Amino acid sequence: MRIAINGMGRIGRMLFRRLINDPQFEIVAVNDLMDAANLAYLLKYDSLYGTWQHDVQFANGFFSVAGKTVAALQEADVNNINWKQYAVDVVLECSGAYSSKTKAGQHLTSGAKKVLLSTTGSTDIPLLIYGHNHTNPAADDAIVSPGGCMTNCSTHILYLLNSIGIESAQLNILHSYTSRQELVDTAHKQYRRGRAAAESIIPVEIDLAQSLERLLPLQGKIATVSVRIPVTNGAMADITVQMKEDISREQINDLFKKAAAAEYKGILQYTEDPLVSADIRGNTHSCIIDGELTSVVGRQLKLIAWFDNEYGYTSRMIDWLRYWMK
């Protein structure tokens, strides 16, 4: 499968690192406005995942890495790119700028066969969570959204709990700070996002509830918020659910333990180890249920799940590519 990556931010670079030596894929081109020498440097040196084993060289419009050559494009408008020239099967749209059906469709017009977003995207694009509804007929569409890291964590949890019955759910996602925040106080249309990310615990607005209501029969029963915390990687979902019937801590933990060993193997993990966020860096699962922290009061359930917002999420994008190859 011939891959192009549009947008070489955190997710784009992580996908590049993970796909470059996979024999099932060939990265033929990347597109980003960043200076190419700077991009080569950021591929080699990463503050979270360490120095890459490969040297990355740039010359004459191409990256050379691991014995492979990848075209390095710097186009602000993908309409100026001829993906057909590179025989691109799938564009991994990681820029965030082409997340509507019309905008993402420009990749198809430029010659790509399929587009996989790295975000939820607009409502006119099928929202298909790997391991939940990825076998939906819409998976054959040319443009697909695999959701975001928070959606991939939460969907499986709520789906399993709703097999018992959910009255309402409150989700608080404690998430590492991101490039959409600021390092020093500055102006921002969402005032809190403009505050120094490494100095405060910062609540931010998210659209997770709307995404979950598209995926699950829980309309009007979900509320969500994300709290950005001063760490560079990792996230913890703090989920409070009012259940429709009496439950026990043991029953809930057993539900997730069995799911992790069976139909959700590789997607959901169960542990009773005393984890902290640093422990899940590089974890490939969409969610890691912390069974030690499960608690029940009456019909109210408190559930804690961890996830690596970069590595876990790119794992699901790669799963999508493998699924399409079949």
Give the residue numbers annotated as catalytic, written as ranges.
Answer: 149
Please tell me whether residue 235 adopts helix, strand or coil conformation.
Answer: strand
HSE-CB for 120 with a 13 A CA cutoff:
17
Name, in order, each residue with C-beta under 8 angstroms of 192's C-beta and a sequence gap of 6 or more: 202, 203, 204
Q: Which amino acid is at 302?
A: K
Q: How far apart are CA 169 and CA 13, in angstroms?
A: 34
Cα distance between residue 235 and residue 279, in whole Å: 11
CA distance 62 to 73: 8
CA torsion, points 160, 161, 166, 172, in degrees to nearest 10? Answer: -110
Task: State the DSSP string of 186-226.
Answer: ---SSGGGGSBTTTS-EEE---HHHHHHHHSS-TT-EEEEE
N-terminal to C-terminal alpha carbon distance within the chain: 11
Residue in this structure with the two tokens 């740039």, named with its chain if needed = 58
CB burial string 94-124: b at 16+ within 10 A, e below: bbbebbebebbbbbeebbbbbbbbbbbbeee
β-sheet bridge partners, residue 239: 171, 303
Tokens representing residue 2 in the block:
């011939």
> Is 135 strand, coil or helix?
coil
